[in-house]
Amino acid sequence: MNTENTHSSHHRLKKGAPVYDAKAIFESTPAPYLILTPEFIITAVNDAYLHATATKREEILGRGIFEVFPDNPHDPKATGVKNLSMSLKKVLATKKPDRMATQKYDIPVAGQPESFEVRYWSPLNVPVFDEARSKILYLIHHVEDITEKVLSKKHTDAIEAEIEERKAIETALSEAVRDREMFFSIASHELKNPLSVMNLQVQKQLRSLERSNVEKISIEEIKQTMEGIQKQTRKLVSLVDEMLDISRITSGKLELNLKDVNLCDLIVEVVNRLIPQFEEAKVSPPSIELCQESKLLLDPIRIEQVLTNLLTNALRYGEGKPIIIRLDSLESELRLSIKDHGMGIVKDMQDKIFNRFERATETSKGKGLGLGLYISKEIIKAHGGQIWVESEPGKGSTFYVSFS
Ligand X SMILES: Nc1ncnc2c1ncn2[C@@H]1O[C@H](COP(=O)(O)OP(=O)(O)OP(=O)(O)O)[C@@H](O)[C@H]1O
Cβ within 8 Å of residue 201, ≥6 positions away: 225, 228, 229, 232
Question: Quick one: CA dihedral 223, 229, 234, 237, positive or negative?
Answer: negative
x/- mask, Mg ion, residues 68-97, rule CB under 5 A, reads ------------------------------
350 makes contact, choosing from ligand X, Mg ion, none, with CB < 5 to 8 Å by partner type, with none
CA 133 to chain centre: 63
400 makes contact, choosing from ligand X, Mg ion, none, with CB < 5 to 8 Å by partner type, with none
Q: Binding residues for ligand X, per CB under 6 A?
A: 242, 309, 313-314, 317, 340, 342-345, 353, 358-361, 364, 367-374, 397
Q: Is the CB of 40 or the CB of 399 nearer to Mg ion?
A: 399
The whole-angstrom separation of Cα 272 and Cα 295 is: 20
Kindly give the pairing relationship between strand 334-339 and strand 324-329. antiparallel
The type of residue at 181 is: E
Q: Is the CB of 300 or the CB of 372 nearer to Mg ion?
A: 372
Q: Is the CB of 26 or the CB of 357 nearer to ligand X?
A: 357
Q: Under rule CB under 5 A, which residues in 187-226 are in contact with Mg ion?
A: none
Min separation Cβ 188 and ligand X, Å? 15
- The reply on whether position 313 binds Mg ion by CB under 5 A is yes
Min separation Cβ 373 and Mg ion, Å? 6
Question: Quick one: CA dihedral 386, 256, 240, 269, positive or negative?
Answer: positive
The whole-angstrom separation of Cα 257 and Cα 265 is: 18
Min separation Cβ 339 and ligand X, Å? 9
Min separation Cβ 285 and ligand X, Å? 16
Q: Which residues pair with 194 in a beta bridge?
A: none
Q: Is the CB of 286 or the CB of 372 nearer to Mg ion?
A: 372
Min separation Cβ 152 and Mg ion, Å? 57
DSSP annotation string for 302-325: HHHHHHHHHHHHHHHHSTT---EE
216, 261, 265, 311, 380 from 304: Cα distances, Å: 44, 11, 11, 10, 11
317 makes contact, choosing from ligand X, Mg ion, none, with CB < 5 to 8 Å by partner type, with ligand X
Min separation Cβ 380 and ligand X, Å? 13
Min separation Cβ 368 and Mg ion, Å? 5
Q: Is the CB of 205 or the CB of 376 nearer to Mg ion?
A: 376
270 makes contact, choosing from ligand X, Mg ion, none, with CB < 5 to 8 Å by partner type, with none
Min separation Cβ 260 and ligand X, Å? 28
In contact, 317 and 340? CB cutoff 8 Å: yes
Please pick, from the candidates 108, 123, 344, 372, the single residue that binds Mg ion as defined by CB under 5 A. Answer: 372
The whole-angstrom separation of Cα 89 and Cα 194 is: 88
The whole-angstrom separation of Cα 277 and Cα 293 is: 27
x/- mask, Mg ion, residues 163-182, rule CB under 5 A, reads --------------------
- Give the DSSP H or E segment for 330: none
Query: By CB under 5 A, how many residues form the interface with Mg ion?
Result: 4
343 makes contact, choosing from ligand X, Mg ion, none, with CB < 5 to 8 Å by partner type, with ligand X
Residue in the shown chain whose Cβ atom is closest to Mg ion:
372
In contact, 45 and 33? CB cutoff 8 Å: yes
Q: Which pairs with CB-CB distance under 8 Å and at least 24 residues apart come from 153-157?
A: none
Q: Is the CB of 205 or the CB of 397 nearer to Mg ion?
A: 397
The type of residue at 65 is: I
Residues that bind Mg ion in the complex, under the rule CB under 5 A: 309, 313, 368, 372
